Amino acid sequence: MKHIGVDIGGSHITAAQVDLNAGKVISSTVVRAKVYPHGSAEGILGTWAKTITEACGEEIDCQLGIAMPGPFDYLTGICLMKNVNKYEALYGLNIKQELSERLGIDAQNIVFRNDSEAFLAGEMRFGAGKGLARGIGITLGTGLGTSIYQNDEAQDMALGINYPMLEGVAEDYISTRWFVETYRLKAQSSIEGVKQLVQLYPTDVIARELFEDFGQNLSSFIQGFIKQFEPEVIIIGGNIAQASEKFFPTIIQQLSGYNPTIQLRKAILNEEASLLGALSHK
């Protein structure tokens, strides 16, 4: 039986065959597609099914592990996304059953996992945290994902939207949205995202200030919960992590002050971590 890892994001899907024994994604089988998150249920599910089918190849005897954002009932496969600006058309649908029927795969061979959990499980077992027992995963992008790895298992912490910070929650100050809104207020000019800010960094004082402030925000957030979990490593992933050299020094300096034994590492598998982690439950 083939093992197919699937990573579903807010506007994309990636699927590929994985070798869990080797901890590898079979690169020749990787299939990616864009998904319109505000489309019809049929349109979204059709794109998902087509992508997974292409990754499976001619043999449909597959086991699927799907990394899925929340809110979602990961055990039953029922979508609970409502008022989160994506996949509203799927609310209340049993995605496990829908995919089972479209793909011709037994529903018991389809498992779902929170996307933050899948990312950290993949990185701890096969990537940046390999060989370590306790880790925290932080994914930086449109939102803020958080998860903890201990006792050989990853668990979503959902701190991005539940952890109080300044005048809101952590995600308000540690996300692409924070960069875009803060730059607009300070520079009276707009940017599309962090990639553009990196390009401005050498000549734009405000861009440099924002990365320094971002590092301070993330440091404060980390300091607030590492005492409780006592991780050996903190693994940072997501799109913003591609600019890690702009804010890692601030975090490392702060970490050295309150727990110098904790290692800060950039994710090395990224999307492949989610594809592997989606299937690597105990």
pLDDT of residue 146: 93
What residues contact 30, with CB distance under 8 A and at least 6 apart? 14, 15, 16, 55
| Threshold 0.85, pTM exceeds | yes
Question: Which residue has tokens 């439950």?
Answer: 281
Residues 133 and 259 in one domain: yes
pLDDT of residue 226: 84
User: For the segment 172-223, what is each residue's pLDDT rounded down to a tens digit?
Assistant: 999 999 999 999 999 999 998 999 999 999 999 999 999 999 999 999 999 8
DSSP, residue by residue, 48-93: HHHHHHHHH-S---EEEEEEE-SSEETTTTEE---SSSS-GGGTT-
User: For the segment 63-77, what is each residue's pLDDT rounded down to a tens digit?
Assistant: 999 999 889 999 999
Distance CA 102, CA 46 (A): 8
pLDDT of residue 224: 82
pLDDT of residue 1: 84
| End-to-end Cα spacing for the chain | 18
Position 277 in a domain? no
Out of 90, 114, 138, a domain closes at 114
Gyration radius of the chain's alpha carbons: 19
Residues 108 and 153 in one domain: no
Spans of the chain, pLDDT less than 70: 281-282
Q: Are 183 and 173 in contact (CB under 8 A)?
A: no
Q: Give backbone dihedrals phi and psi of 152, rounded to 5 degrees, phi first.
A: 65, 25
pLDDT of residue 282: 52
Range of the domain at 10: 2-114
Position 243 in a domain? yes
pLDDT of residue 70: 87
pLDDT of residue 258: 78
Angle (nearest 5°) at CA 48 between 44 and 50 = 115
Angle (nearest 5°) at CA 59 between 57 and 61 = 120
Q: Where are the beta strands (DSSP E) in the chain?
A: 2-8, 12-19, 24-25, 31-34, 62-68, 72-73, 78-79, 110-114, 135-140, 144-150, 153-156, 164-165, 168-169, 233-237, 263-266
Number of domains in the chain: 2
